[in-house]
């Protein structure tokens, strides 16, 4: 969610006001901001203007996931990314495209560090633990008569949709769903529904041709199966076992690439091009034909892609090493604030 008008602008102003009080009280050496949401740019902007003394001493600003660009400024996140990067003193990059983007924008290479992806750190740390989730069983996606380590997972697709451009417009939303009809005839589509998307489904009166997610005799069949939003481990379990994932989420594009799961992104662009160039992702757009074409291409695909450089679970360690090197001349311990 980017900075906008009305309620969003009011919320952002409140974030800035309250965070300034925290920074002045805590006086950290470093502010670490992550990603591209409202709080990311709001806290970076506040910190860039605070002063602890008469010479203007302030915390260093470190941006994790720096340099990502969709080159589409109609996306609020894109504006947040650009502003945050140009306010930051240390820029931690997840993929090589970020290095190129920041160089073109005139950011000093001394400030930029290619460390990898902290979200992949989390995924690799918890991938095994996700096997303890019971969601596959609850959704009837385990073959009958199988149990223990030998249980067999039925073929299914996983869908996530939440971006305003996709779900806030009835025609766009319906086009995406129509593009998924062929997939839904082939296998169940499990759809954990974001609260924003839930609201639009009800508001627009959209018929998703649903089958009950509680009826045992319908669980393994095709069609769209709406479920409530999931916790991290349950979602990771569904993602790592899916035959294909359809999404408009940037993070899911990265996670499926790491897991080797085919992904179709229902957007016109991506700020994470490595997921297409080296990973498992195809950008489909939002037209019915584009989505169907991308899904068919994934069905023919034999490669599981390659893991991008530095997506090895050690990004956070590299970030800490840079922070320590940057402040090593100080006698006092590093005192970061993470938001």
Residues recognised as catalytic: 162
Q: What is the three-class DSSP state of 245?
A: strand
Q: Could you give the strand order of the β-sheet that contains 30-34, starting from the edge strand earlier in sequence?
A: 112-114, 90-93, 60-66, 30-34, 336-338
- In the 8-state DSSP scheme, what is residue 214? T
Q: Which residues contact 282 (CB under 8 A, 6 or more apart)?
A: 262, 263, 264, 265, 276, 294, 297, 298
Q: At what angle do helices 118-126 and 315-326 cross, to 10 degrees?
A: 140
Closest by alpha carbon to 113, among 97, 130, 90, 147?
Answer: 90
CB atoms within 10 A of CB 212: 12
Q: Could you give the strand order of the β-sheet that contains 281-283, starting from the edge strand earlier in sequence?
A: 223-227, 188-192, 157-159, 244-247, 263-265, 281-283
Strands (E), 67-212: 90-93, 112-114, 157-159, 188-192
């Amino acid at each position: 969610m980017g900075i906008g008008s009305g309620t969003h602008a009011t919320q952002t102003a409140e974030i800035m006001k309250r965070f300034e009080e925290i920074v002045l009280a805590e006086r950290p050496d470093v502010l670490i901001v992550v990603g591209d949401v409202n709080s990311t740019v709001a806290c970076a902007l506040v910190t860039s203007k605070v002063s602890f003394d008469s010479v203007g001493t302030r915390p260093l600003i470190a941006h994790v996931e720096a340099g990502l660009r969709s080159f589409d400024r109609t996306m609020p996140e894109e504006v947040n990314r650009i502003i945050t990067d140009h306010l930051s003193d240390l820029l931690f990059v997840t993929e090589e495209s970020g290095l190129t983007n920041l160089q073109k924008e005139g950011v000093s290479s001394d400030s930029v560090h290619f460390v990898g992806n902290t979200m992949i750190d989390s995924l690799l740390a918890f991938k095994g633990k996700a096997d303890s989730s019971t969601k596959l069983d609850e959704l009837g996606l385990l073959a009958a008569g199988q149990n223990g380590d030998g249980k067999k997972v039925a073929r299914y697709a996983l869908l996530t949709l939440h971006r305003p451009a996709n779900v806030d417009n009835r025609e766009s939303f319906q086009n995406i769903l129509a593009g998924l009809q062929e997939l839904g005839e082939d296998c169940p589509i499990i759809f954990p529904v974001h609260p924003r998307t839930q609201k639009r489904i009800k508001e627009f009166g959209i018929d998703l041709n649903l089958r009950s997610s509680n009826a045992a005799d319908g669980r393994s069949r095709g069609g769209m199966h709406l479920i409530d939003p999931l916790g991290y481990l349950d979602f990771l379990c569904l993602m790592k076992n899916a035959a294909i994932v359809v999404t408009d989420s940037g993070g899911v594009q990265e996670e499926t690439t790491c897991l080797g799961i085919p992904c179709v992104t229902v957007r016109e662009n991506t700020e994470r091009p490595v997921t297409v160039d080296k990973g498992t992702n195809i950008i489909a757009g939002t037209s019915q034909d584009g989505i169907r074409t991308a899904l068919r291409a994934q069905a023919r695909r034999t490669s599981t892609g390659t893991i991008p450089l530095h997506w090895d679970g050690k990004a956070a360690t590299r970030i800490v090493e840079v922070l320590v090197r940057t402040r090593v001349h100080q006698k006092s311990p590093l005192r970061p604030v993470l938001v």
